[in-house]
Amino acid sequence: MTFAEVIQRFEAEYLGLNEVDKTKYLSLLCFYITIIARGTYPELRQGDARSAEMLMTFNEAVHRVSSQLCSILTEEDEPTYPHNVFFPMLANYGTNEQLQAELAWALSRAWEIFLNSTE
3-state secondary structure 36-83: HHHCCHHHHHCCCHHHHHHHHHHHHHHHHHHHHHHHHHCCCCCCCCCH
Q: What contacts 73, CB < 8 A, 6 or more positions away? A: 23
Predicted TM-score (pTM) of the model is 0.89
User: Which phi-psi region, left, alpha or beta, contains residue 47 (left: φ > 0; alpha: ψ -120 to 50)?
Assistant: left
pLDDT 10s digits, 20-63:
999 999 999 999 999 999 988 888 788 878 888 888 889 999 99
Share of residues in the chain with pLDDT > 70 (%): 100
Supply the pLDDT for residue 103.
93
